[in-house]
Amino acid sequence: MNPQLESFRYDDAIVRKFLWATFIWGLIGMTVGLLIALQLAVPALNLDIPWLSFGRLRPLHTNAVIFAFAGNAFFTGAYYSSQRLLKTRMFSDALSAVHFWGWQLIIVLAALTLPLGFTQAKEYAELEWPIDILIAVVWVVFAINFFGTLAKRRERHLYVALWFYIASIVTVAILHIFNNLSVPAGPLKSYSIYAGVQDAFMQWWYGHNAVAFFLTTPFLGLMYYFLPKAADKPIFSYRLSILHFWTIVFLYIWAGPHHLHYTALPEWASTLGMIFSVMLWMPSWGGMINGLLTLRGAWRKVVEDPILKFYVVAITAYGMSTFEGPMLSVRSVNALAHYTDWIIAHVHTGALGWNGFLAFGMIYWLAPRLFQTKLHSQKMAELHFWLATFGIILYVTAIYSAGLTQGLMWRAYDATGRLEYPAFIETVMRLMPMYWLRVAGGSLYLTGMVLFGYNLFRTWKSRPAAYEEPVIQAAPLAGDYEELTAPRPAGALARFAQAAWHRTWERLPVTFTVMVAVAVIVASLFEIIPTFLIKSNVPTIASVKPYTPLELAGRDLYIREGCFNCHSQMIRPLRYETDRYGEYSKPGEFVYDHPFLWGSRRIGPDLAREGGKYPDLWHVRHMRHPKDIEAKSIMPGYPWMLTNQLDFDGIQRKVDAMVMLGVPYGDAVTDAPAMARAQAQAIAQSIASQGGPADLSDKEIVAMVAYLQRLGRDVSAPAAASAAGAP
Amino acid sequence: MSASHDEDRLLHHDYDGIQEYDNPMPRWWLYIFWGTIVWAVLFWFNVPGIGVGQGRIADYDASVAAANAARPPEPVAGPSADQLLAMSKDPAALASGKTVFGAYCVACHGPDGGGVIGPNLTDAFWIHGGSPAAVYATVHDGVLAKGMPAWGQSLKPDEVTAVVAYVISLQGTTPAAPKPPEGTADTAAATPASGS
């Protein structure tokens, strides 16, 4: 035996932990998803219980599926594959444990705080500031553990899977920190340091790249390890790996603003997002091609092996959603699809198909190896595959149809030049059959998940009394190293294409990581700097004033209840929008909006010009029991707002935080509660005089009404404020 | 995806048993990639301020102007009082008026017009006048300050007429929970000749 060999063991106990966490959180996240899908079809299921209402549960569903299910799946695969690709145990078992338990703690905290209404109101970044700090700390622990493992590796070069892990770890840290910068206004309350247009930009820079660097690059890394392992085939093309990796890293970062076409975001920014999204099409497909072509000659195996079947559907779903992404980023397509269920269908192709199926395939492959026994039932895995596949098909076909239907109904005109469907509720009712189909599809997928769990459980039950921990031997890296060089072709271009330069980077993890960070940061700054520095992006509107203290409190209730999950506050300059909702939204209207509340989906109508449209009592009755106003409404009721006491004294702290952010509050700085009480009295009187309940002046509903009645009125001259809302 | 399959050349890479081929990138893939880059550069010239594009606001203004030009002329005046009174006794007109009322008006005026947030429509008291022309004007143009939308903008002309006729037909009926009178007794208020 070579005396230079070192002996060590892989840490698979941590991988087993992450595996179980993946399943448990996946089951919970998908169950919540099914519940909220049912709530749209049967609004009574909101049960008039605050922590069970759609607006609070929807973020729980998205966070659980993204960060708990997909996150733990990534960690499962990364901990398993990194040790083997680097021929070493993880850097530190203690850090592995801190990472595991810290991450699960974050998820538990999310599952508690989101239903209780603690939220920053930014999609996929809802968690409040103390949890954000915890996320940053745990992520850094993961990073130290991972890069420490790279440092003590016994494999000279980094395999492509590791490139993708590096990109994910570095970029998620950057995204998380810069989107969540906020000023605390309480133990679980904060305001984004950015306002309006800039906040929207930062949010979608983050939001889109969360899709990129939390759901795409980590899973591409997993694919590069677990697919060739399961298929027992070499990767199709090393050069394709290089090109599609770097182009994904550099191009993805720019794409975020395509979420904001036709909004108050400057047109150059959303166009930049669009053209980079289109350029991203082929780099994304590079991953698909490398995956599918790796299976050349293995297709017979695919027929027999449920694991490879999961991979094939996963990669196909990835290919479909990364074609659809660029297509949706095109302005005219986006005008139709934005705010509709089309986007929901798009993300579910990605989440259920790509992330879900890749995780399932990976775990079916891992389970016998980690539990050191046979998989309990191959047949059951096969059944899981078919149930989940039909579940996805049913889900996305229904929801694509729903999106197209509603998008087309919103823009339909009749022969007299009026909107064909002026009542928003008509466009909602048309979706009901499709909402039921979605419930059916989701149920199939969830049934598959239950089978998956049972299969895993039975496999685990038949594990050996004690796990074997085989001793691995590998030589440490020698200090001196000469790159094996192939004959150098003549000509600079040919040499570049030979990628020997990249081969050198692959054995220099620090250089490699720095290059990734530079690519991501440079691309970000190209967009961020002009967004923040060009004054003309947000022309000032003199008549736009800060919210009164009471309206600010009401805005926080709007945030607490998650109203932004179903209502946008952004009227696009499109004729069918202004005919329906009123004057299109201007950038200058949002300068005091910390955070912005433009929303991304219209399950209910836009509220940007809601102020003054209806009497105060209308809102009171509507919030208490929406069906009193619109018999077919699917909005949950908020009866607790009529009985909960408003915390007047707490308003001072909100105002103080806003002052810190530069919102000009003048006198209210010292006397916010008194100002709020005075305004509350006036509104309560108006409600009573209209025939409503007499004793609402100290209840939350008054603040909510104050906020809703303010929406969108400032832009018209103060004298004409009462006419706001008229097109 | 070409003849290169036959020439698969394994690199000397081996990571935990995973190997890699040195295959070239598929040509169609490269061509489309270059194509999107060229397109991206060209499209940049569509951005207002940078290139020749007019921009979304100009596009919007143009679309509104075009729609206004193409809109069929609206009748200058609404239906006459006599027409409305006649319709308020015509079962077909009342049926369609009732449908419109059920969809848009009940939220504020109650299912039987007895008034909830908005006033009682069955009594002889009117805030904005009770003559057929006044009721028509209130419905068509709205009273935005009080939360009454301008229905003429969103409903079709015959829907507005039908619902006004229906409202006139409610005069003298007895709602389940009438809201107390608001406004003034309008002596000119039109009552359907043979109220139901």
Instruction: Give burial (CB, 10 Å; 0-12/13-18/19+) of A493.
Output: exposed
**Domains of chain B: total:** 2
Residue B173 · residue B196 · CB < 8 Å: yes
Residue B107 · residue B170 · CB < 8 Å: no
Which of B52, B56, B101, B154 to substitute to test the interface with A, most A CBs within 10 Å? B56
- Strand stretches in A159-208, DSSP E: 182-186, 189-192
Are B94 and B39 in the same domain? no
Beta-carbon-side half-sphere exposure of residue A5 (alpha carbons within 13 Å): 9
Q: What is the mean pLDDT of residues A176-183?
A: 97
CB-based contact (8 Å) between B27 and chain A? no
pLDDT in tens, A646-672: 999 999 999 999 999 999 998 777 899
Is the pLDDT assigned to residue A699 strictly greater than 70? yes
pLDDT in tens, B144-173: 888 899 999 889 889 999 999 999 999 989
Q: Which residue has the tokens 């609404």?
A: B78
Q: Which domains does chain A have, with CATH numbers?
A: 6-472 (1.20.210.10), 549-585+609-723 (1.10.760.10)
Q: Distance between CA B13 and CA A97 in Å, rounded?
A: 32
Beta-carbon separation of B72 and A262 below 8 A:
no
The better pLDDT of the pair B67, A722 is held by: B67
pLDDT in tens, A497-508: 777 889 999 999
Is the pLDDT assigned to residue B193 strictly greater than 70? no
> What b/e sequence results for A589-611 when a residue is b if at least 16 CB atoms lie within 10 Å of its CB, and e otherwise?
bbbbbbbbbbbbbbbbbbbbbbb
Are B63 and B141 in the same domain? no
- DSSP 3-state assignment of A385? helix
Task: Indicate the average pLDDT of chain A.
Answer: 95
Q: Distance between CA A250 and CA A244 in Å, rounded?
A: 10
Are B146 and B93 in the same domain? yes
Q: What is the CATH number of the domain that holds B170?
A: 1.10.760.10
Dmax (CA) for chain A in angstroms is 94
Amino acid at A158: L
Of B48, B116, B144, the CB nearest to A722: B144
Residue A489 · residue A165 · CB < 8 Å: no
Is the pLDDT assigned to residue A717 strictly greater than 60? no
Residues of B in contact with A241 (CB under 8 A): 20
Beta-carbon separation of A419 and B21 below 8 A:
no
CB-based contact (8 Å) between B111 and chain A? no
Q: Distance between CA A725 and CA A581 in Å, rounded?
A: 7
Q: Locate the chain A residue with the closest alpha carbon to B153.
A: A418
Residue B194 lies in a domain: no
Of A238, A267, A726, the CB nearest to B20: A238
Q: What is the mean pLDDT of residues A123-146?
A: 98
Amino acid at A589: E
User: Given pLDDT bands bounded at 50, 70 and 90, which one contains residue B12?
Assistant: confident
Q: Cα Rg for chain A, rounded, in angstroms?
A: 27
Q: Residue B144: what pLDDT?
A: 84
Residue B161 lies in a domain: yes
Q: Which domain holds residue B14?
A: 3-70
- DSSP 3-state assignment of A690? coil
Q: What is the mean pLDDT of residues A60-64?
A: 98
CB-based contact (8 Å) between B2 and chain A? no
Of B17, B49, B70, at which residue does a domain stop? B70
Q: Which run of H or E residues covers position B151? A: helix B151-154
Is the pLDDT assigned to residue A54 strictly greater than 80? yes
Of B8, B21, B154, the CB nearest to A418: B154
- DSSP 3-state assignment of B181? coil
Q: Distance between CA B63 and CA A240 in Å, rounded?
A: 45
Nearest of A126, A106, A108 to residue A56 by alpha carbon: A126
Q: Distance between CA A111 and CA A103 in Å, rounded?
A: 12
pLDDT in tens, A607-652: 999 999 999 999 999 999 999 999 999 999 999 999 999 999 999 9
Of B103, B117, B157, the CB nearest to A423: B103
Are B109 and B152 in the same domain? yes
Q: Distance between CA A4 and CA A477 in Å, rounded?
A: 10
Beta-carbon separation of B147 and A613 below 8 A:
yes
Q: Locate the chain B residue with the closest alpha carbon to A632.
A: B103
CB-based contact (8 Å) between B12 and chain A? yes
Q: Is the peptide bond before A595 cis (omega within 30 degrees of 0)?
A: yes
In sequence order, what are the residues at sequence separation of 6 or more whose Cβ sits closer than 8 angstroms to the Cβ of residue B71? A416, A417
How long a stretch of residues is chain A? 727
Residue B133 lies in a domain: yes
**What is the residue-wise DSSP string for A225-274?**
HHHHHHHT--BSBHHHHHHHHHHHHHHHTT-GGGGGTTSSS-HHHHHHHH
Are B61 and B93 in the same domain? no
Q: Distance between CA A210 and CA A215 in Å, rounded?
A: 7
Are B120 and B155 in the same domain? yes
Residue B172 lies in a domain: yes
Are B95 and B28 in the same domain? no
pLDDT in tens, A224-277: 999 999 999 999 999 999 999 999 999 999 999 999 999 999 999 999 999 999
Of B43, B70, B97, at which residue does a domain stop? B70
Residues of B in contact with A414 (CB under 8 A): 156
Which of B9, B10, B30, B36 to substitute to test the interface with A, most A CBs within 10 Å? B36
Q: Distance between CA A635 and CA A563 in Å, rounded?
A: 10
Q: Distance between CA A205 and CA A216 in Å, rounded?
A: 15
Of A275, A579, A722, the CB nearest to B44: A275
Residue B46 lies in a domain: yes
- CB pairs < 8 Å spanning A and B: 164
Q: Locate the chain B residue with the closest alpha carbon to A419.
A: B154
* pLDDT over 70 percentage in chain A: 98
Q: Locate the chain B residue with the closest alpha carbon to A617.
A: B117
Q: Distance between CA A428 and CA A603 in Å, rounded?
A: 7
Q: What is the mean pLDDT of residues B124-131?
A: 92
Q: Residue B187: what pLDDT?
A: 63
Are B36 and B90 in the same domain? no
Residue B191 lies in a domain: no
Are B168 and B104 in the same domain? yes
Parallel, antiparallel or unpaired: strands B184-185 and B125-126 = antiparallel
Q: Residue A719: what pLDDT?
A: 40
Q: Distance between CA A725 and CA B147 in Å, rounded?
A: 11
Are B45 and B110 in the same domain? no
CA distance A178 to chain B (A): 28
Question: CA quadruple A264, A266, A268, A274: dihedral positive or negative?
Answer: negative
Residues of A in contact with B106 (CB under 8 A): 631
- DSSP 3-state assignment of A7? strand
Beta-carbon separation of B60 and A629 below 8 A:
no
Is the pLDDT assigned to residue B42 strictly greater than 90? yes
Measured in whole angstroms, the distance separating CA A418 from the mean position of its chain's CA atoms is 37
Residues of B in contact with A81 (CB under 8 A): 16
**What is the residue-wise DSSP string for A81-123?**
HHHHHHTS--S-HHHHHHHHHHHHHHHHHHHHHTTTT----ST
Of B70, B103, B123, at which residue does a domain stop? B70
Q: What is the mean pLDDT of residues A191-197?
A: 96
Which of B2, B20, B179 to substitute to test the interface with A, most A CBs within 10 Å? B20
Q: What is the DSSP letter of A70?
A: I
Residue B195 lies in a domain: no
CA distance to A288, A307, A360, per residue, from A300 (Å): 19, 13, 20
Residue A147 · residue A89 · CB < 8 Å: no
Are B104 and B166 in the same domain? yes
Is the pLDDT assigned to residue B192 strictly greater than 70? no
pLDDT in tens, A451-483: 999 999 999 999 999 999 999 999 999 887 877
- A649: its two tokens: 């004294």
Q: Residue B195: what pLDDT?
A: 40
CB-based contact (8 Å) between B177 and chain A? no
Q: Distance between CA A661 and CA A553 in Å, rounded?
A: 16
Residue B196 lies in a domain: no
Residue A620 · residue A589 · CB < 8 Å: no
- pTM for the structure as a whole: 0.94
Q: What is the mean pLDDT of residues B90-119?
A: 93
Residues of B in contact with A286 (CB under 8 A): 25, 29
Residue A202 · residue A179 · CB < 8 Å: yes
Beta-carbon separation of A235 and B60 below 8 A:
no
Are B99 and B181 in the same domain? yes
